[in-house]
Amino acid sequence: MSAEIFDRVKNIIVDRLGVEEGEISLQSSFKDDLGADSLDVVELVMELEDEFDMEISDEDAEKINTVGDVVTYIASQK
């Protein structure tokens, strides 16, 4: 389950942030490792909401730092 979520999240990150898939791990920080700024994160959250057909509240979105945070969050909501 988590592996499948991770793959789908990775695809979005590759597309939106222009990074190589190999650079993305569960530990990757969006801001420090993947070069995302605050606007990129807002857009990523919107993409994730579409991809996983869910709503991520602003409060929850603010807690997201790493790719692992996203995967865990999505898995917990499913």
As annotated, the active-site residues are: 37
Minimal distance in Å, beta carbon 54 to another protein? 13
Nearer to another protein, 3 or 18 (CB): 18
Q: What's the token pair of residue 16? A: 């939106």
List residues binding another protein (CB under 8 A).
16-18, 35, 39, 42-43, 46
Minimal distance in Å, beta carbon 7 to another protein? 20
Q: What's the token pair of residue 54? A: 């869910």
Nearer to another protein, 18 or 22 (CB): 18
What CA dihedral angle connects 15, 28, 9 and 31, to 10 degrees? Answer: -60
Minimal distance in Å, beta carbon 52 to another protein? 15
Query: Contact at 8 Å (CB) between 66 and 27?
Result: yes
Q: What's the token pair of residue 23? A: 């650079």
Alpha-carbon span 19 to 16, nearest angstrom = 8
Nearer to another protein, 34 or 70 (CB): 34
